[in-house]
Structure 1
Amino acid sequence: MREPRAPQQIDSRGELERELANSIRKARLLDERAPVDTVRVVTDGRSVVDVAADVPAATGWVNRA
């Protein structure tokens, strides 16, 4: 069995700044173009498991306490 690959790393300050600028641009596009009733799940600083637990509740599939 092969070991899982490590996530791609950003290896220079210039690359990091470009990625941050792209992220900001994409967030602005989503804000401008997403339908009014679009549900957003906060992901900043949260684990994948925690975010995944919120998704079914956000869609109305289950109630989350």
Structure 2
Amino acid sequence: MFRLLFLLPIILCLGWCFFLRHHGVPIKKGKRGFVYILAFSTFVLGFFILMMQITEFTPSEF
């Protein structure tokens, strides 16, 4: 699962882009949404990294 975590912001950004196009909103006006998506994805990634450090998880154990 950790290997695929980088897909989270890509999929969310693509979904946001399709949403904007469907509703006829220019990409430039939806820029704030992309910033929110990237901030959320960074938070999730940071949380998982913190949990891995706290539990001393090593990928070879998986």
Larger radius of gyration: 1
Fold shared, TM-score > 0.5 on shorter chain: no
Q: Larger % of helix: which?
A: 2
Shorter-chain TM-score range? 0.3 to 0.5
Identify which of structures 1 and 2 has the higher relative contact order when contacts are C-alpha pairs closer than 8 Å and 6+ apart. Answer: 2
TM-score, with structure 2 as normaliser = 0.37
